[in-house]
Structure 1
Amino acid sequence: MTTVPDQAQVVVIGGGIIGCSTAYHLARDHKADVLLLERGRLTNGSTWHAAGLVGQLRTSASITRLLKYSVELYSTLEAETGLATGWKQNGGLRLACNRDRWTEILRQATTARSFGLEMQLLTPAEAQDLWPPMDIGDLVGAAFLPTDGQASPSDIAQSLAKGARMHGARIVEGVAVTGFETAGGRITAVLTDHGRIACQKVVNCGGMWAKAVGRLAGVSVPLQPVQHQYVLTEPIAGVTPTLPTLRDPDRLIYFKEEVGGLSMGGYEPNPITWAENGIPDGFEFQLLAEDWDHFEPHMCQAIERVPALQHAGVKQMINGPESFTPDGNFILGEAPELKGFFVGCGFNAFGIASAGGAGWALAGWVMDGAPPMDLWVVDIRRFSGLHRDDSWVRARTVEAYGRHYTIAWPHEEYASARPRLVSPLYGRLKERRAVFGSKLGWERPNWFAPEGTEPGDVPSQGRANWFDAVGDEHRACREAVALFDQSSFAKFEMRGPGAAERLEWICANRLPREPGRLAYTQMLNPRGGIECDLTVARLAEDRFYIVTGTGFRTHDGAWIREQLEGADAAFEDVTEGWATLTLMGPLARDLMAAVSPADLSNAAAPFGSVREVAIAGQAVRALRVSYVGELGWELHMPVDAAGPVFDALMDAGERFGIRPAGYRAIESLRLEKGYRAWGADITPTDSPFEAGLGWAVKLKSGIGFLGREAAAAVAAAPLKKLLAGLSVADPAAVLVGRETILRDGVPVGYLTSGGWGYTVGRNIGYGYIRNPDGVDPAWLRDGRYSLVVAGDEHPADLHLEPLYDPGNARLKA
């Protein structure tokens, strides 16, 4: 008879490799009272049939660090638990069959160096020396990561489970979760078919079942099971136990050694989803029907790469469902809908590689209430209400799966499930040949195609087809006036007697003291890291308007709501109710005077002011603020007013040289001005003082605020890192971020963002320069700098002030 405890500190749901790793780390590192529940038997979902390749390199430094931790853990786990893991550090090869793929590999090699991961670049012949069975006739080159490897997924999971028990965790199989109890927006108990379990926290590691488990708690978990096939062959001559894993992304296939034969699978562009209406009851240690017709293209590609496969026997085809997400990244963190409810799932076919590090990070997040590093790329709060739509998630996930091995082009956009959310100006912008991108479901103009050019992106590893058009938009903003549709901004209102007091506590900068003013501010976490980066406008003594980036709507909204507990204040998301037009450029005031009777002189409407003005008979909330470094306003208005206001500005703006402009011009403009981007240049693990934003922290005011003690400690101690600008004159270099920063030839960091500055005529990047002995401006200026870009070293100039208008004369004109 199964005995289930009636209480536990933390309940982990799901006995796959992620759940076992999370339970192991909760017990080992935090001595938590952990109970793991598995509805069937351990590893019965995707874990048991996973291929088991373990690669470490990703485009995020934090995710790469998690994968490196997995390798370290797997190499020692057997010695700790006595259970074999099948871990083999045989290295990993990645092939390039064309010049664009080779450029991608060169960029990956630079990224590996930036993240402290060894990666060797090989000629085709050198690659064949490591992998003799393959044909190299079409190879341009290859990369080899010697610390990659392979493992037995079920064995690792069982070893983690034993380790969890050794450290005090309880694991019970054959128990299904049927519901949850909550109180005050917080989890209080798990309901099962074996009774109620009181708890403080829950961790949903349900794998393919995680979506259904989340719905029992009112939590959205956007993932979709997809069929993934691979074959196991009979022994093949030349296939030895030390053969590295092999990824051949141009052929969409991978290989690993398996008992003298090969395991071979791939990622087709037309995947087949599974269990669209829910996973069948009793699905445990089961596979799906073989689909050789669907697999045939992979088999043909594999035979061309490994000719011996033509005569090798196939022992088995594995067709097993695996969880994929709409953006190809996994899901970690506390759900914004419910306190104490954490999620760890959706691992997109690299769950075995991720499990060790993800379990470590998730355990720390559960116990400390915050992630142990910047994990925004996998944070569940990167999603929104849109992701509750299963059909939208399914369509986007199919595309994400199909891109698993395609070239990761700079600035590439998803094409599926669009358009979904559009501003009221979508039709007008499309008529003006806007080329749209998508952010959290919103259609946003990236650039405008001139007449005679194709209105669409053409992928490129160099300067893309939109480069010159974006330059024209950039120059219009610097020299005349440009109009941007930023209606997708996330917008909130806070009101009530306690609103001002509580906002003063949440914001690191001073709150606007009187109505009609706004403040740029960060919101810090208790560790002093930048949790939010936004503007707060005071509309009345007890009413505030908060604006943040499109992609941060769920994150920032959840963060603010969490801090409002007990406050006499109402908080409302008003995003869809307000459109935003951003008018920027030296002639912006002249144009405003032509369309509005309001006095918008510097005396009447200084920088940092908010006023209600009339344009085309419409009431418009005009915020004097800028993310491009020019005179101008964010114009916020009810959505019904957007069309008339846009038409009035464009019609009157003709004589001022107005130009509609997009987000790629904004990126170039903000790089020249040195403005930071949250999630890239600034994150929850970066202090404002490290980011050069200490001027926006009210330490000298004597006013208490969230994160004050931690911020003061950082400000008082020597900094170990400092964000700096670097520019490269050579136009042949193309900065996209993650390029290695060298100081006197020694790596000291990497770029967090990069692009081209059209006004200054240089590549511009930003990144943290690190030194364990301390970083200050004098030390920074004393060095000689260069950037490693796609394998080539380029001399770079250091900039501690903005390259453009460092005195803000144009901004405050």
Structure 2
Amino acid sequence: MANIPSKARVVIVGGGIIGCSVAYHLAKKGWQDIVLLERKRLTSGTTWHAAGLIAQLRATANMTKLARYSQELYGNLEAETGVATGFKRCGSITVALTEHRREEILRQAGMARSFGVDVEEISPQEVKARYEHLNIDGVKAGVWLPKDGQGDPANIALALAKGARNMGARIIENTAVTGLRKQGRSVQGVEWQAEGESGYIEADMVVNCAGMWGHEMGRMAGVNVPLQACEHFYIVTEAIENLTQMPVLRVPDECAYYKEDAGKMLLGAFEPIAKPWAMDGIPKDFEFDQLPEDFEHFEPILEQACARLPMLETAGIHTFFNGPESFTPDDAYHLGLAPELDNFWVAAGFNSIGIQSAGGAGMALAEWMDSGEKPFDLGDVDIARMQPFQGNKQYLFERSKETLGLLYADHYPYRQKATARGIRRSPVHHQLLENGAVMGELAGWERANWFADEGQERAYKYDWQGQNWFNNTAAECRAVRENVGIYDMSSFGKIRVEGRDAVRFINYVAGAECDVEIGKIVYTQFLNNAGGIEADVTITRLSETAYLVVTPAATRLADQVWMQRHVGDYAVVITDVTAAEATLAVMGPNARKLLQAVSPNDFSNAHNPFGTAQEIEIGMGLARVHRVSYVGELGWEVYISADQAGHVFEALWDAGQGMDARLCGMHMMDSCRIEKGFRHFGHDITCEDHVLEAGLGFAVSKTKENFIGRDGVARKREAGLENRMLQFVMEDPSAFLFHNEPILRDGQIVGYLSSGAYGHHLGAAIGLGYVPCAGESAADVLASSYQIEVAGVNMAARASLKPAYDPKSERVKA
């Protein structure tokens, strides 16, 4: 076809609202030679039938920032392009029908305030005043967001497309991408087919915006894009007399949302158990299509809705709609540079929030593509968070049944996924279960989160206060603080870096000095050019030419890819060896005594001081012990080849019986680490948090000449800190903190908690969070009074720069 070029700077695959947004924002950046290919017509997949709810508040500050940007963009698009977007700020109301949901929406309101979103908690009577048609029986509370809105999804997408065209982008419909050509870690271009013709476009970059075809499109490139299409239902009534513009209404306890549009009412649902669709592939001719009605599936939602909005009882149904939308394994969309390739980008899997996300997602991706660096922390949605196995179709089928319903389920802290479990298991998994383990899941790993007492139900009972495992975790913390505890860390990522340039390479990617003696362990970060934290790791020198990098379980792939992308000419091999070794942590004042009971080796300070590793005999096997601690106690991480892990566990556990040793879980580790002020990657430290402002300057070399982030650290040292991370200990022991609670300094909101947990040894909830401090000394910052807002109540907290527990770290060096 004459209008399809043979070469482009970027080819965007998919003409829904996401693809149109990426094209628009790249064009706005001044990019030329932008080509968007759409297999059928623009918006013909999911965009055309989306409900068009446009909310500001998301689960994190940056996701909220992107949603707010979308709103502002859509408000101006009509004037810019002449295409009516139907965007209006009608506000939104969310109501709670239970006390648990009431606490959730009040906590969400606090989070909104800390993110700078206009929000107001309202009583049932105030809900009724704003939404006269609502039956408020059972309504406990409501939250009002006056700047939320709604719009016409297809027209917003067409406006973005027109804006992109006006700036020179080429948008070509009825042209399917049938293949990609690759060389090494690069895509060379795309093969296309249209109206009996075919061809090839050479491309510098390719962006997968293929929506529910994104999984298939990723497979063409050898890229893992885990998402699954599910049926999504809504009804539209006939015109209702005298119905005027109403706010968007959400009743999550009844799985329902309501939108007035042109005198009709739309009722949509996120039912608890969803219906995955197109397991054998999406039909080739799918375009502006809908799926067969399933009234029986929708009927329970409709019955509750008729009671909640009595006007629906007499309103005729104009449309019963069932259309597919794509869902990811964790209900967060996929954005960013694919781990498998260095020029293949992804923006797909928007979990029914594509309209409100598209503007911000397109902007963020365009910034990233243009500069080569993330514009701010996108860890929640970065495609690199997905594990390779999560592209498995059976896994996606099972998990997607749950994820759609989780959008409106109670968002309890510590809530565990119920579906698609048991996939990645530690070598000691069954032994943990035999001893009472209650498992959680992270990145597919089954991990012991807590241990049930004999006769206690081995299951979570969720709450916003102390959950049913509260006392169990308290006992596990006591064991680690006062005696000895054993817990499984096998899920943590282990990456071996080996080769003649291993020392030079590790010193280039890590902030700390890593040219150390064999057996030395270095705590450090991988930094970006600005001095932000890309990874938080320990690095152990195993030999003259080999290191072991230990990472959080969830970021192993991302951390490995970060290293691979910076290899350049360094002669190193980088290998994931996570599954090769199990890791058992032995922590507490009596940790040395327990290890000496099962090993003839020397664990004294003279032979094995803090921050060193040694090879040992243990039981009848062999292991390597690393003397480090994430709980702030004397202890060792014991690395055992997977084949001997069961035996070593038995040796430790049998010897521990005479010492009252206790098996512990991940909740214990989180409680103890926050008492010690240890940062948690992804919450307390991210790519936009400067390593010095995070209080981790001690982990950055002041003498190394060449490492990533060196100049960013030097600039901050010279300019001074703009933020400081503080630890907050609540005065009231009944308060519970999780994360995102507002921080008030002298009565004014200045930030929010990046993480929170209950400190069982200190007897109070503890949070970490950043406080602005430009031009202030540490003493100035600490001279203020601080409060944390918890579910709408401001509660006093003690702030500190040093950890409240063992500030001099004497216990780990005992």
- Give the TM-score, by structure 2 length: 0.98
Give deviations 1:324-347, integer Å, cap 9, x for gaps: 111111110100001110000100
- Tell me whether 1:786 sits opposite 2:787 in the alignment: yes
Q: CA deviation at 1:454?
A: 1.3
Q: 1:537 aligns with which of 537, 540, 564?
A: 540
Tell which deviates more after alignment, 340-349 or 32-41.
32-41
Distance 1:62 1:594 in 2: 50
- Which residue of structure 1 lines up, in the alignment, with residue 201 of structure 2? 197
Distance 1:743 1:130 in 2: 33
- Tell me whether 1:283 sits opposite 2:286 in the alignment: yes
- Tell me whether 1:208 sits opposite 2:208 in the alignment: no
Q: CA deviation at 1:527?
A: 2.1
Determine if contact 2:626/2:638 at 8 Å carries over to the other structure: yes
Determine if contact 2:513/2:704 at 8 Å carries over to the other structure: no
SS of the residue corresponding to residue 737 of structure 1 reads coil
Where do 1:66-85 residues align within 5 Å? 66-85=66-85
- Which residue of structure 2 lines up, in the alignment, with residue 99 of structure 1? 99
- Which residue of structure 1 lines up, in the alignment, with residue 513 of structure 2? 510
Q: CA deviation at 1:184?
A: 2.9
- Tell me whether 1:768 sits opposite 2:746 in the alignment: no
SS of the residue corresponding to residue 197 of structure 1 reads strand
Q: CA deviation at 1:2?
A: 5.6
Where do 1:295-310 residues align within 5 Å? 295-310=298-313
Determine if contact 1:579/1:642 at 8 Å carries over to the other structure: yes
Aligned-partner residue type, residue 553 of structure 2: T
- Which residue of structure 2 lines up, in the alignment, with residue 64 of structure 1? 64
Q: CA deviation at 1:170?
A: 1.2
Q: CA deviation at 1:426?
A: 1.1
- Which residue of structure 1 lines up, in the alignment, with residue 187 of structure 2? 187
Give deviations 1:384-439, integer Å, cap 9, x for gaps: 11112111122112111121111101111011112111111111111111100011
Distance 2:732 2:794 in 1: 11
Q: CA deviation at 1:30?
A: 4.1
- Which residue of structure 2 lines up, in the alignment, with residue 239 of structure 1? 243
- Tell me whether 1:707 sits opposite 2:709 in the alignment: yes
- Which residue of structure 2 lines up, in the alignment, with residue 379 of structure 1? 382
Aligned-partner residue type, residue 144 of structure 1: W
Determine if contact 1:718/1:775 at 8 Å carries over to the other structure: no
Tell which deviates more after alignment, 172-181 or 480-489.
172-181
- Which residue of structure 1 lines up, in the alignment, with residue 486 of structure 2? 483
Give deviations 1:282-314, integer Å, cap 9, x for gaps: 101111111111111111011011111111011
Q: CA deviation at 1:512?
A: 4.5
Determine if contact 1:11/1:34 at 8 Å carries over to the other structure: yes
Determine if contact 2:274/2:400 at 8 Å carries over to the other structure: no
Q: 1:697 aligns with which of 697, 700, 703?
A: 700
- Which residue of structure 1 lines up, in the alignment, with residue 588 of structure 2? 585
Q: CA deviation at 1:656?
A: 2.2
Distance 1:131 1:371 in 2: 41
- Tell me whether 1:468 sits opposite 2:468 in the alignment: no
SS of the residue corresponding to residue 231 of structure 2 reads strand
Where do 1:515-530 residues align within 5 Å? 515-530=518-533
Give deviations 1:344-392, integer Å, cap 9, x for gaps: 0100001001011011011111222222111101110111111121111
- Which residue of structure 2 lines up, in the alignment, with residue 746 of structure 1? 748
Distance 2:384 2:342 in 1: 13
> Unaligned stretches of 5+ in structure 1?
none
Distance 2:272 2:745 in 1: 43
Aligned-partner residue type, residue 761 of structure 1: G
SS of the residue corresponding to residue 380 of structure 2 reads helix
Distance 2:723 2:6 in 1: 48
Where do 1:657-676 residues align within 5 Å? 657-676=660-679
Determine if contact 2:503/2:515 at 8 Å carries over to the other structure: no
Q: CA deviation at 1:32?
A: 4.2
Aligned-partner residue type, residue 209 of structure 1: W
- Which residue of structure 2 lines up, in the alignment, with residue 135 of structure 1? 135
Determine if contact 2:85/2:155 at 8 Å carries over to the other structure: yes
Determine if contact 1:512/1:537 at 8 Å carries over to the other structure: no
- Which residue of structure 2 lines up, in the alignment, with residue 111 of structure 1? 111
Distance 2:139 2:240 in 1: 22
- Tell me whether 1:720 sits opposite 2:729 in the alignment: no
Q: CA deviation at 1:516?
A: 1.1
Q: 1:400 aligns with which of 397, 400, 403?
A: 403
- Which residue of structure 1 lines up, in the alignment, with residue 40 of structure 2? 40
Distance 2:605 2:24 in 1: 61
Distance 1:803 1:46 in 2: 51
Aligned-partner residue type, residue 712 of structure 2: A
Q: CA deviation at 1:172?
A: 1.0
SS of the residue corresponding to residue 410 of structure 2 reads coil
Aligned-partner residue type, residue 777 of structure 1: A
Q: 2:760 aligns with which of 758, 783, 791?
A: 758
- Which residue of structure 2 lines up, in the alignment, with residue 550 of structure 1? 553
- Which residue of structure 2 lines up, in the alignment, with residue 612 of structure 1? 615
Distance 1:225 1:52 in 2: 18
SS of the residue corresponding to residue 638 of structure 2 reads strand
Distance 2:786 2:43 in 1: 50
SS of the residue corresponding to residue 716 of structure 1 reads helix
- Tell me whether 1:316 sits opposite 2:313 in the alignment: no
Distance 1:30 1:167 in 2: 8
Distance 2:545 2:480 in 1: 35
Tell which deviates more after alignment, 558-567 or 593-602.
558-567
Determine if contact 2:734/2:764 at 8 Å carries over to the other structure: no
Q: 1:359 aligns with which of 339, 342, 362?
A: 362
Q: CA deviation at 1:58?
A: 1.4
Aligned-partner residue type, residue 723 of structure 1: M
Q: CA deviation at 1:511?
A: 0.3
Q: CA deviation at 1:729?
A: 2.0
- Which residue of structure 1 lines up, in the alignment, with residue 445 of structure 2? 442
Give deviations 1:459-511, integer Å, cap 9, x for gaps: 11111111011000001001000001111111111111011111110110110
Distance 1:622 1:526 in 2: 34
Q: CA deviation at 1:3?
A: 1.7
- Which residue of structure 1 lines up, in the alignment, with residue 230 of structure 2? 226
SS of the residue corresponding to residue 235 of structure 1 reads coil
Q: Give the number of equivalent residue pairs.
A: 810
- Which residue of structure 1 lines up, in the alignment, with residue 345 of structure 2? 342
Distance 1:218 1:176 in 2: 18
Percent identity (aligned): 46
Q: CA deviation at 1:151?
A: 0.3
- Which residue of structure 2 lines up, in the alignment, with residue 575 of structure 1? 578
Determine if contact 2:523/2:539 at 8 Å carries over to the other structure: yes
Aligned-partner residue type, residue 677 of structure 1: H
- Tell me whether 1:796 sits opposite 2:797 in the alignment: yes
Aligned-partner residue type, residue 308 of structure 2: R
- Tell me whether 1:430 sits opposite 2:433 in the alignment: yes
Q: 2:261 aligns with which of 252, 258, 262?
A: 258
- Which residue of structure 1 lines up, in the alignment, with residue 633 of structure 2? 630
Q: CA deviation at 1:725?
A: 0.5
What's the RMSD between the two structures over aligned residues? 1.1
Give deviations 1:133-153, integer Å, cap 9, x for gaps: 111111111111001000000
Determine if contact 2:507/2:515 at 8 Å carries over to the other structure: no
Q: CA deviation at 1:748?
A: 0.9
Aligned-partner residue type, residue 662 of structure 2: R
> Unaligned stretches of 5+ in structure 2?
none
Aligned-partner residue type, residue 727 of structure 2: G
- Which residue of structure 2 lines up, in the alignment, with residue 411 of structure 1? 414
Distance 1:718 1:611 in 2: 40
Aligned-partner residue type, residue 41 of structure 2: R
Determine if contact 2:276/2:400 at 8 Å carries over to the other structure: no
Aligned-partner residue type, residue 83 of structure 1: V
- Which residue of structure 2 lines up, in the alignment, with residue 294 of structure 1? 297
